[in-house]
């Protein structure tokens, strides 16, 4: 197969999750030809969408581990980066609560680990302080981490990619790398969207980073998928939660324990569970785990066990820990292959990968800099064009928008107050992501309490106006088609 357009890329990034997109943006500061290849129909379709969206402070991981170092370094970067990119986020602080006096020692261990890693501001607080901070939460003692925060993980991922695209990086969706050939010191990456040749490759393929590495003849890794199920409340549940509340990490839980996390919009996330599964894409939810989540909610925040949930979902963690083995901790792997110089793999990037992503990106750039001349571009734009949501505007600004463009006056989503202008803008994203889920993640259409019941026909109509025929409309690409053609007129 011939190389697409005869072009040779300086760096190809495989995988459009938060890490791949952070790497792409960091590289887009330099005078390089860049491409990111994502196998799904949109960015953030894998590990990066199904998590709690917590900006971690860094006390949950062993000091001196790569997880701890990139987490603490990432924490120093991530808030400013999110502000620069216009990604909604909030420094909320966090509580890790101990229900019994004997668990206080565990909190002290966490604090000591955090202190050693350089996590700022950690302190142990008593029940009265918990009550002041989170009146609905339960606990005898808590570790309070003031610098923990929340962010929308998929908005962050998309924003990183949009910024990179604005600075000249290319992104190909629905382009899974199916084969890798090395010829003339170039990596030739075969995808259904054509073949791409690159001098260097960054493998940030998340759950599939082991398989992608194997395509290049690097048989060093094995990813074990661990599923985590979540439940999410209605914004109108009447329950207020200011900050994430975690239990003392249970000894038998491969994750951080089932916790509660506020979203920026006012929902509460409950989860995740942690089950080793066989299938990397098995994001089914189960009755058993839903019951377990509720039971845990009853412990952390009794009122939460009594309110209705509007949605459940599951995400998969890419762990390096064999569920049948003795090891409990697997560190991030970020390394250049000795066998395939120029090929850098990021493997096992689970929590706290979202927070660590900006630091991991800097690390990857430094590794690439050893082998290539990196020249800063004079015209790098660190931000991206961003419109504040209609729902977040005051009356005057709303009136101004509608007066200028009537599309701001046409409400598409009644639950989240999203306008046609915002849906059209989302569909005209620079990557060509044109699925219902792509619209949902960019606009919140379908995330409200009707869960798409009312806005779906409207979005289907707008998609057709934008040139997507009805039978090509999908939920999230691939075989997730919505329709089987038209009915007889």
Partner 1 sequence: MGKPLETCDVAVIGGGPAGLAAALGARRAGAGKVLLLEREKTLGGILNQCVHDGFGLFLYKETISGPEYAERLAEDVAREPVKVETGAMVLDLSRERVLRVNSRNGYRLIQAGAVVLAMGCRERTRGQIEVPGTRPAGVYTAGLAQNLVNLQNLRIGNEAVILGSGDIGLIMARRLVFEGVKVKGVFEILPWPGGLERNVRQCLLDFGIPLELGSTVVEIRGRDRVESVVVAKVDEAMAPVAGTERVIPCDTLLLSVGLIPENELSKRAGMELSPLTGGAVVDESLMTSVPGVFSCGNVLHIHDVADWASFEGLAAGERAACYAAGERATGTAVHVSPGPDVKYVLPQIVTSGKAGVEWSFRVARPVRDVRVEVRGKASGKVYARGKYSRLLPSELQKIKVNDAVEEDLEVGCHE
DSSP at 41: S
**Residue 465 found at the interface with partner 1 (CB under 8 A):** no
DSSP at 133: H
When the beta carbons of 83 and 480 are compared against partner 1, the nearer one is 480
Quickly list H helices, 370-451.
395-404, 420-427, 436-443
Report, in Å, the least distance between residue 323 CB and partner 1: 22
The residue within the footprint of partner 1, chosen from 152, 267, 273, 285 (CB under 8 A), is 285
When the beta carbons of 26 and 416 are compared against partner 1, the nearer one is 416
Query: Of 232, 246, 415, nearest to 307 (Cα)?
Result: 232
Examine the residue annotation and report whether 144 is marked as an active-site residue of this protein.
no
Query: Of 318, 374, 442, nearest to 19 (Cα)?
Result: 318
What 108-112 contacts at long range (C-beta under 8 Å, 24+ apart), as own/partner pairs, is 110/59, 110/60, 110/143, 110/248, 110/249, 111/59, 111/143
The CA R_g of the chain, rounded to the nearest whole Å, is 23
Judged by CB under 8 A, the number of residues near partner 1 is: 59
**Residue 385 found at the interface with partner 1 (CB under 8 A):** no
In whole angstroms, give the CA distance from residue 95 to residue 101: 16
Report, in Å, the least distance between residue 265 CB and partner 1: 14
For the stretch 23-32, what's the b/e string if a residue is b when 16 or more beta carbons lie within 10 angstroms of its beta carbon? Answer: bbbbbbbbeb
| Among 56-64, 139-147, 211-219, 410-418, the segment contacting partner 1 (CB under 8 A) | 410-418
**Residue 284 found at the interface with partner 1 (CB under 8 A):** yes
Report, in Å, the least distance between residue 36 CB and partner 1: 23
**Residue 292 found at the interface with partner 1 (CB under 8 A):** no
Placement of tokens 């690439």 in the chain: 368
Q: Which element (helix H / strand E) includes 358? A: helix 353-369
**Residue 286 found at the interface with partner 1 (CB under 8 A):** yes
CA distances from 53 to 18, 250, 268, 270 (A): 11, 20, 12, 12
**Residue 460 found at the interface with partner 1 (CB under 8 A):** yes
3-class DSSP state for residue 268?
strand
Other C-beta atoms lying within 10 Å of the C-beta of residue 215: 19
Report, in Å, the least distance between residue 471 CB and partner 1: 9
When the beta carbons of 6 and 489 are compared against partner 1, the nearer one is 489
Per CB under 8 A, contacts with partner 1 among 200-239 are: 231-232, 236
| Among 4-12, 52-60, 179-187, 472-480, the segment contacting partner 1 (CB under 8 A) | 472-480
**Residue 467 found at the interface with partner 1 (CB under 8 A):** no
User: Residues, the chain, total?
Assistant: 489
Report, in Å, the least distance between residue 293 CB and partner 1: 10
How far from each other are the two terminal CA atoms of the chain, in whole angstroms? 44
Quick one: tokens of 375? Answer: 């020249």
Per the residue annotation, which of 56, 144, 147, 259 is the catalytic one?
56
**Residue 89 found at the interface with partner 1 (CB under 8 A):** no
**Residue 111 found at the interface with partner 1 (CB under 8 A):** no
When the beta carbons of 224 and 309 are compared against partner 1, the nearer one is 309
The residues near 182 (Cβ < 8 Å, ≥ 6 apart) are 188, 216, 340
**Residue 474 found at the interface with partner 1 (CB under 8 A):** yes
On whether the CB atoms of residues 294 and 287 are closer than 8 A, the answer is no
| Among 79-87, 333-341, 351-359, 403-411, the segment contacting partner 1 (CB under 8 A) | 403-411
**Residue 277 found at the interface with partner 1 (CB under 8 A):** no
In whole angstroms, give the CA distance from residue 36 to residue 84: 22
In whole angstroms, give the CA distance from residue 325 to residue 327: 6
Per CB under 8 A, contacts with partner 1 among 298-317 are: 308-313
Quick one: tokens of 135? Answer: 């009146």
When the beta carbons of 58 and 452 are compared against partner 1, the nearer one is 452
Diameter over CA atoms, the chain: 71
**Residue 489 found at the interface with partner 1 (CB under 8 A):** yes
When the beta carbons of 224 and 390 are compared against partner 1, the nearer one is 390
| Among 185-193, 278-286, 329-337, 340-348, the segment contacting partner 1 (CB under 8 A) | 278-286
When the beta carbons of 138 and 311 are compared against partner 1, the nearer one is 311
**Residue 278 found at the interface with partner 1 (CB under 8 A):** no
The residue within the footprint of partner 1, chosen from 319, 452, 462, 463 (CB under 8 A), is 452
Distance of CA 237 to the CA centre of its chain: 25
Phi, psi at residue 29, to the nearest 5°? Answer: -70, -20
Report, in Å, the least distance between residue 163 CB and partner 1: 30
Query: Of 322, 146, 303, 136, nearest to 233 (Cα)?
Result: 303
When the beta carbons of 3 and 402 are compared against partner 1, the nearer one is 402
Report, in Å, the least distance between residue 289 CB and partner 1: 8
Other C-beta atoms lying within 10 Å of the C-beta of residue 467: 9
Report, in Å, the least distance between residue 406 CB and partner 1: 4
The residue within the footprint of partner 1, chosen from 144, 199, 280, 401 (CB under 8 A), is 401
Query: Hey, which residues are catalytic here?
Result: 56
Binding site for partner 1 (CB under 8 A): 231-232, 236, 281-287, 290, 308-313, 395-396, 398-399, 401-403, 406-411, 414-415, 417, 419, 449-454, 456-457, 460-461, 470, 474-476, 478-487, 489
């Amino acid at each position: 197969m011939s190389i697409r357009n005869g072009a040779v890329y300086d760096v190809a990034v495989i995988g459009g999750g938060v890490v791949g997109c952070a790497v792409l943006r960091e590289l887009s500061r330099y005078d390089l030809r860049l491409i990111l290849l994502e196998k799904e129909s949109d960015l953030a379709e894998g590990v990066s969408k199904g998590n709690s969206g917590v900006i971690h402070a860094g006390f949950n991981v062993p000091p001196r581990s790569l997880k701890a170092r990139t987490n603490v370094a990432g924490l120093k970067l991530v808030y400013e980066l999110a502000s620069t990119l216009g990604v909604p986020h909030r420094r909320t602080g966090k509580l890790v609560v101990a229900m019994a006096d004997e668990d206080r020692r565990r909190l002290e261990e966490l604090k000591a680990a955090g202190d050693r890693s350089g996590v700022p501001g950690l302190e142990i607080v008593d029940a009265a302080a918990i009550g002041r901070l989170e009146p609905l939460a339960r606990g005898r003692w808590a570790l309070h981490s003031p610098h923990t925060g929340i962010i929308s993980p998929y908005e962050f991922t998309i924003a990183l990619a949009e910024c990179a695209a604005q600075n000249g990086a290319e992104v190909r969706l629905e382009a899974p790398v199916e084969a890798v050939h090395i010829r003339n010191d170039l990596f030739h990456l075969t995808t259904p969207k054509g073949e791409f040749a690159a001098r260097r490759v960054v493998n940030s393929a998340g759950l599939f980073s082991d398989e992608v590495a194997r395509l290049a003849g690097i048989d060093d890794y094995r990813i074990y998928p661990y599923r985590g199920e979540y439940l999410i409340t209605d914004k109108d549940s009447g329950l207020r939660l200011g900050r994430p509340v975690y239990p003392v990490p249970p000894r038998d839980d491969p994750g951080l324990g089932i916790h509660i996390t506020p979203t920026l919009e006012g929902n509460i996330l409950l989860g995740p569970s942690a089950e080793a599964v066989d299938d990397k894409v098995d994001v089914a939810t189960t009755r058993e785990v839903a019951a377990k989540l509720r039971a845990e909610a009853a412990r952390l925040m009794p009122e939460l066990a009594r309110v209705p949930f509007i949605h459940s979902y599951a995400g998969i963690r890419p762990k390096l820990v064999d569920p049948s083995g003795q090891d409990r901790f697997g560190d991030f792997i970020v390394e250049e292959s000795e066998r395939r110089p120029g090929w850098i793999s990021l493997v096992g990037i689970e929590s706290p990968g979202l927070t660590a992503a900006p630091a991991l990106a800097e690390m990857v750039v430094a590794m690439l800099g050893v082998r290539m001349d990196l020249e800063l571009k004079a015209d790098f734009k660190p931000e991206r064009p961003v419109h504040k949501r209609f729902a977040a505007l005051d009356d005057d600004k709303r009136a101004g928008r509608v007066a200028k463009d009537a599309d701001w006056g046409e409400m598409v989503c009644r639950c989240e107050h999203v306008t046609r202008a915002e849906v059209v803008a989302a569909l005209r994203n620079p990557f060509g992501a044109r699925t219902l889920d792509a619209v949902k993640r960019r606009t919140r259409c379908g995330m409200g309490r009707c869960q798409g019941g009312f806005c779906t026909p409207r979005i289907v109509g707008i998609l057709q106006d934008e040139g997507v025929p009805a039978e090509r409309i999908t939920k999230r690409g691939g075989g997730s088609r919505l329709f089987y053609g038209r009915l007889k007129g």
